[in-house]
Structure 1
């Protein structure tokens, strides 16, 4: 009897130790500078941005759907090819409750609460709306912590700490650091060479979300794609014209600046603008169709007579690079367009394929870029 009692006591102690090892409360500082207590590793997450899957899939490669219990529909609508690739491999994605809204929209709080999540991830740009709606307090009353991350507003600053946050909360810190190191090394291939050679920087204009907007000229200031242009060795003409990340300038300003390159950010946006002038760059895109739709852009009044029009230096880039940890691939491709001789040995498609092979559970499909100058 004494041996049986001792055995039971040891079993109970083992269960206690195992549970304690699995459940730990830690305090993290999110991208908004808030200190938040979270039980880790998290098991049930609601994503205020469906495209947060881009980082989650790199951490939970074996089953990226496992911990997502609710998300916004933006991935399904804005990047349908990627969604279908994940759905084909992980059918559980089709069962995740999804709610409507764009980047700055509030989450559906009823759907969120109903899923009983361990955590809610929100984009930094939703902070003001969330505070006005008192969602932090409402969710906090139910012991549901909220974490702000940012791959969109200032990704050149916040991408690495956002990756680290996901890594820490998912119990995947080592893998997160591997991704950060890979990303940094690929960016350094550009910035180090530019620092050594110091080539002349061509003027560049970014036609933001082309085809999503009918009017001209939406662009980026000194952040996001604007910062990517600078890292790639270009001179973003809107950096001193647009305060902050996003904005619009008039056609006359573009003509006067006379950019040598036009970067069109676009995607397959049939869900938003059926039959629109968007350029369908993205995984598995039709190269011929990309060229056909990109050919419209030199006819825009803002580009008539500029250097880029004369040289057919119009390039299409997958818009979702602006909201993911994969921005370094776009930086490499832009560097090749701006400085083809300096970066002749660089292969952005191979870089993106390596990312997929090392970190992601789906196969790489080219189609993320197009250029009339090809």
Structure 2
């Protein structure tokens, strides 16, 4: 009898510890109350961040996911599925950007918490009311904005959802330390800001790809001490007029890419990508019409980065990358690609192999 009572007491006590009601402010300043750690979670975006912060065990509680952003990085997705086959069995909830997001599917999965990116929350509009009317708690996070404040806040929120507050705090502190180190060196050196242009190179040499204004790579390049030539013309992401790129005459050009692109001259970067092949494709951009007069081309200051390493808590390594590309002497001691891989080794169960940063 006494033994049974003790077991019942312990069960109740453990349940209380693991089901404490919390109220958080998400990145939009919304108060959200839920039991943490959440036992049934839908991950709308940032799945790798969710695993890095919450640990692999956090995916034991994931009951639904918008998978496309992960599956778009085919090699990365396959690496995780090989390690953890159950990822492939998580129900798909659809995409907000293609209007295939299924509110009915989400409700049927009976989640405690749905974690959405800022842009997803805003894109769902009135569907948010339907979800909340069903008693579903929505927590909004945002790594796309690429601000130190939102990166840290989003990391802390994932820490609460998964019950990994201490781990989240360590990851956020590491990120802030990197950003602060770069800012401090730049302030002390007080050097002129080089002009920088970033382009997503999936379309190849013949077609100008998307560039970035005040978020994603645009914000990273600014944080690393660059004068982003796209900022006056593009708010978030879009294409510049080809003549504008030439007229702006950037000192540094960064072409980003995934593991695959539209054609044989598309910029490819990432897991399984051969460095020599990536170098060859980056070299091809020197022959783009009109680019021979650009300082970055004349001085061979063309670089490439893995597009999947942006809008994530991993991208402290990409701030290092831009800083070193623009100020090679000031940041000669940094090894951005190793920093990127070290994050995987420290916080994730798998480590990719391939080409993630590149310089001509």
- Same-fold status (TM-score > 0.5): yes
Match of 1:246 among 230, 234, 237: 237
Alignment partner of 1:351 is 2:339:
yes
2:65 is aligned to 71
Gaps in structure 2 of 5+ consecutive residues: none
Alignment partner of 1:204 is 2:196:
yes
Secondary structure of 2:343 counterpart = helix
Residues 296-355 of structure 1: CA deviation (Å, up to 9, x unaligned): 322333524111221232211111233211121111112221121221111112212321
How many residue pairs match? The answer is 360
Distance change >3 Å, CA 140–CA 276, structure 1 → 2: farther
Match of 1:126 among 102, 120, 124: 120
Alignment partner of 1:305 is 2:293:
yes
Alignment partner of 1:195 is 2:187:
yes
Alignment partner of 1:280 is 2:268:
yes
1: distance between equivalents of 2:292 and 2:102? 45
2: distance between equivalents of 1:302 and 1:36? 52
Match of 2:254 among 258, 263, 279: 263
RMSD over aligned Cα, in angstroms?
Answer: 2.4
2:40 is aligned to 44
Alignment partner of 1:33 is 2:29:
yes
1: distance between equivalents of 2:244 and 2:149? 28
Deviation at 1:68, TM superposition (A): 1.9
**Larger mean Cα displacement after TM superposition, 96-105 or 112-121:** 96-105
Gaps in structure 1 of 5+ consecutive residues: none
Deviation at 1:141, TM superposition (A): 2.6
1: distance between equivalents of 2:35 and 2:84? 26
Alignment partner of 1:164 is 2:160:
no
Secondary structure of 1:341 counterpart = coil
* Equivalent runs, 1:98-113 vs 2, <5 Å: 98-101=92-95, 105=99, 107-113=101-107
CA contact (8 A) 2:42 2:114 kept: yes
Residues 165-207 of structure 1: CA deviation (Å, up to 9, x unaligned): 0001111000001101111222233222111112222111111
Deviation at 1:230, TM superposition (A): 1.9
Deviation at 1:284, TM superposition (A): 3.3
1: distance between equivalents of 2:205 and 2:15? 52
Deviation at 1:121, TM superposition (A): 1.1
Distance change >3 Å, CA 103–CA 64, structure 1 → 2: farther
1:180 is aligned to 172
Distance change >3 Å, CA 360–CA 212, structure 1 → 2: farther
CA contact (8 A) 1:103 1:123 kept: no
1: distance between equivalents of 2:3 and 2:297? 81
Deviation at 1:10, TM superposition (A): 4.7
2: distance between equivalents of 1:201 and 1:60? 38
TM-score (structure 2 length as normaliser): 0.91
**Larger mean Cα displacement after TM superposition, 37-46 or 97-106:** 97-106
CA contact (8 A) 2:58 2:162 kept: no
Deviation at 1:42, TM superposition (A): 0.9
Match of 1:58 among 43, 52, 61: 52
1:149 is aligned to 141
Secondary structure of 1:263 counterpart = strand
1: distance between equivalents of 2:209 and 2:290? 8
CA contact (8 A) 2:259 2:272 kept: no
2: distance between equivalents of 1:212 and 1:89? 33
Distance change >3 Å, CA 311–CA 104, structure 1 → 2: farther
1:88 is aligned to 82
Distance change >3 Å, CA 87–CA 249, structure 1 → 2: same
2: distance between equivalents of 1:193 and 1:206? 23
Residues 236-276 of structure 1: CA deviation (Å, up to 9, x unaligned): 1122222x322332122211111111111211245xx4x36
2:111 is aligned to 117
